[in-house]
Structure 1
Amino acid sequence: MFDVSFLELAVIAVIALIVLGPERLPTAARAAGLWIGRIRRTIGNVQREISSQLETEELQRQMKHKRDRVDQGLSKMRQDVEGLGDTPRNRSDSERPPADDETPGAGSAGREPAADDTAAPADNSRHTTSSDADRNDAPR
């Protein structure tokens, strides 16, 4: 901080001894030491606060820079995706992948049942009616 040589300290001590006298010099030196300690602590606190503030500002600047880069990347991707939707389809139908309901070879198994398909399945056993019973009883 201050560049004080030994000779300057000796001159200050002699002047203090003459002005204050030998009775009050130790008390004054102790008070001066306490004041110097408080001043150093205050300066240290201010330096820490300033460096903390500078670090915070630097982190905010870095975050803003990275946020801008991410926003640019997202906007570029959004433009690319929107550009894909605007281009005409150049593929023929044979190159186009089949839709879910157009799966080849799936037939009705590949589709979901319609509302009328949910009825009870037909019974494959033979139902006899009166005319069927007559046919069965008739001689052949």
Structure 2
Amino acid sequence: MFDIGFAEILIVSVVALLVLGPDKLPVAVKTCGMWIGRIKRSVTAIQHEISEELRVEELRRTTAISKEELEKELSEMRKPFKAAAKDVESAVADPNTASGTAPKGEASSNTDSDKSST
């Protein structure tokens, strides 16, 4: 992250010792360590939240794509059933042609032959 070498840390330590003195330096280092720890935890929490949001967004995208594919397959699977439903509707509307029964004229000739045979 930062390019801080040993020489830079040594210079900052010597300056801090001269400015703060030996009495206040341990307290200042402890406070500085606490602040650095809090900053690291905050950054880690933010990174975690961002990665979680990205994961959720990716799941939403894949779910939407899967939903579209399933809807296409479902519409393709419904086509034969819709055709069969239309055939059934036409059979209900005109029962003679759909059920394969004889037209009325042939049925009356059969009844006439039945009457003459009796």
**TM norm structure 2:** 0.69
Q: Percent identity?
A: 39
What is the one-letter code of the residue matched to 2:55? Answer: E
Partners in 1 of 2:4 and 2:63 — Cα distance? 45
Deviation at 1:19, TM superposition (A): 1.0
Aligned match of 1:27: 27
Q: Does 1:80 align with 2:80?
A: yes
Q: Match for residue 11 of structure 1?
A: 11
* Paired position in structure 2 for 1:40: 40
Distance 2:29 2:58 in 1: 43
For residues 3 and 55 of structure 1, the distance between their equivalents in structure 2, rounded to whole angstroms, comes to 32
Gaps of 5+ in 1: 94-140
Deviation of 1:85 after TM superposition, in Å, equals 4.6
| 1:115-134 equivalence runs, <5 A | none
Q: Give the CA deviation at 1:4.
A: 0.7
Partner of 1:63: 63
Once residues 80 and 6 of structure 2 are traced to their aligned partners in structure 1, the CA distance between those partners, rounded to angstroms, is 74
- What is the alpha-carbon distance in structure 2 between the residues aligned to residue 14 and residue 62 of structure 1? 56
Shift >6 Å, 4+ stretches: none
Using the size of structure 1 for normalisation, the TM-score is 0.59
What displacement does 1:21 show?
Answer: 0.9
2: CA distance, partners of 1:11 / 1:26: 17
- The root-mean-square deviation of aligned C-alpha atoms, in Å, is 2.1
